[in-house]
């Protein structure tokens, strides 16, 4: 499905066919997780379409370090491996456990020798299987209980967690299900060290799960900054004025547990969405009013694309007079060099 969607990006009516010569896709921003980025890159580089990713995976994982159309908005995640080792040494933690997503094999292979060199031992190393549907979540329950037992029965007080944004979903289930079995225990009593790629993502049914167990976690984060006007922008959001953005309504209904008038869904909700709901009143586990590192990287990806297009526009208008009302025709391969060499202040105003 990802490959088909990628083929549809530069196309019109049929995948891989371009019938409209007036509009050209000049850049793609995404994806956050490794798998999506790889699938997109395999297609986009054929068409020489710049791809700006905001995930913090290692370039060798994606196999795109030599691709001229692949741009990363965040540093190589290998720097985090060194940071983990230094953090463990700082606190004198020499007996730790590793919990990684299915795609975390390279992480484990890279981190193990670094830990060994510094005299840090592994108590356990567990892998959470990837899930793709709600039905598979129920099939995963026995596996999650097994992982929780390994964590609880280990004498290691520190657990290093690696994975993408979707990895937090099974992790929260592991803890929630485990607490039902270990009901006599009042606290997990572990220190969680989370990689920057992880995020406290939650499905609708998970929003009310207890997050107390993760309080006090040590998280590596991607650099962020305060973007002028961002908080005011969020406060002004209204699902009835979303200018055709269906995502806003979908998000609104899920996070506020309401239904919109004339909704086509068969789901039941206790209340009707009015648009008077306030995002700032939501718990931080459901929605944050500050810009996360991932969001800031996405913001800068948009910024970089805008600068490249602006530079191309200035060049074209300088050497070619445009007819009034005529759109300048741009091709993605013309934008790529500007992506690589165009310099600007990250975090400055658009």
CATH of 78-219, one of 3.40.710.10, 3.30.70.360, 3.40.50.2300, 3.40.50.150: 3.40.50.2300
Which of 87, 151, 163 lies closest to 120, judged by CA?
87
Give yes or no for a contact between 273 and 318, defined as CB atoms under 8 angstroms apart.
no
Distance CA 56, CA 32 (A): 8
CA 202 to chain centre: 12
pLDDT along the chain (350 residues), means of 10: 60 61 77 75 85 73 61 85 96 94 82 95 84 68 80 90 72 64 56 80 53 73 88 90 78 87 68 91 82 87 89 77 61 80 59
Give every CB contact of residue 116 below 8 A, 6+ residues apart in sequence.
none
Q: Is 133 helix (H, G, I), strand (E, B) or coil?
A: coil
Q: What is the per-residue pLDDT for 205?
A: 47
Q: What is the pLDDT of residue 267?
A: 63
Residue count (the chain): 350
Q: Among 2.40.50.840, 3.30.930.10, 3.30.70.1710, 3.40.50.2300, what is the CATH number of 2-74+294-341? A: 3.40.50.2300
Q: How many Å apart are CA 326 and CA 145, to the nearest integer?
A: 62
- The CA R_g of the chain, rounded to the nearest whole Å, is 23
The torsion angles phi and psi of 125, rounded to 5 degrees, stand at -140, 110
Q: How far is CA 193 from CA 1, 99, 154, in A?
A: 33, 10, 16
Sign of CA dihedral 205, 208, 209, 215: positive
Q: Say if pTM beats, i.e. exceeds, 0.85.
A: no
Tokens of 330: 């741009």
List CB contacts of 344: < 8 A, sequence separation 6 or more. Answer: 303, 304, 307
Domain positions in the chain: 2-74+294-341, 78-219, 230-279
Contact between 120 and 96 (Cβ < 8 Å): yes
What pLDDT was estimated at residue 65? 47
In whole angstroms, give the CA distance from residue 290 to residue 129.
31
What does 133-154 look like in DSSP terms, one character per residue?
A: SHHHHHHTHHHHHHHHHHHHHS
User: Which pLDDT score, from 0 to 100, does residue 195 have?
Assistant: 86
Say whether the peptide bond before residue 103 is cis (omega within 30 degrees of 0).
no
Per residue in 175-197, pLDDT (tens digit) is: 666 555 554 454 567 898 988 87
Per-residue pLDDT at 281: 92
């Amino acid at each position: 499905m990802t490959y088909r969607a990628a083929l549809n990006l530069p196309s019109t009516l049929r995948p891989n066919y371009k019938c409209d010569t007036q509009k050209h896709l000049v850049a793609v921003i995404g994806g956050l997780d490794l798998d999506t980025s790889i699938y997109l890159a395999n297609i986009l580089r054929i068409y020489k379409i710049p791809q700006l990713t905001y995930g913090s995976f290692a370039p060798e994982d994606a196999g795109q370090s030599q691709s001229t159309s692949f741009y990363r908005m965040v540093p190589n995640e290998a720097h985090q491996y060194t940071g983990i080792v230094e953090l463990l040494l700082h606190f004198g933690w020499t007996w730790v456990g590793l919990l990684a997503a299915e795609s975390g094999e390279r992480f484990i292979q890279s981190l193990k020798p670094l830990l060994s060199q510094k005299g840090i031992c592994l108590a356990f190393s567990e892998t959470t299987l990837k899930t793709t549907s709600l039905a598979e979540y129920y099939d995963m329950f026995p596996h999650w209980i097994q992982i929780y037992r390994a964590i609880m029965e280990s004498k290691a007080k520190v657990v290093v967690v690696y994975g993408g944004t979707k990895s937090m979903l099974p992790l929260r289930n592991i803890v929630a299900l485990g607490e039902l079995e270990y009901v006599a225990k009042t606290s997990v009593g572990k220190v969680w060290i989370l990689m920057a790629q992880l995020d406290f993502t939650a499905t609708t049914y998970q929003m009310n799960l207890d997050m107390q167990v993760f309080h006090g976690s040590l998280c590596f984060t991607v650099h962020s900054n305060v973007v002028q006007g961002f908080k005011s922008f969020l406060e002004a959001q209204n699902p009835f004025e979303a200018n055709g953005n269906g995502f806003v309504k979908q998000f609104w209904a899920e996070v506020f547990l309401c239904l919109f008038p004339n909704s086509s869904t068969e789901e039941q909700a206790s209340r009707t969405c009015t648009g008077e709901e306030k995002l700032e009143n939501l718990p931080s586990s459901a929605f944050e009013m500050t810009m996360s590192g991932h969001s800031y990287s996405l913001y800068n990806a948009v910024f970089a694309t805008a600068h490249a297009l602006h530079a191309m526009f200035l060049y074209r208008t300088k050497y070619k007079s445009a007819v009034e009302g005529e759109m300048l025709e741009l091709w993605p391969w013309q934008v790529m060099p500007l992506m690589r060499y165009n310099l600007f202040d990250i975090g400055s105003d658009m």
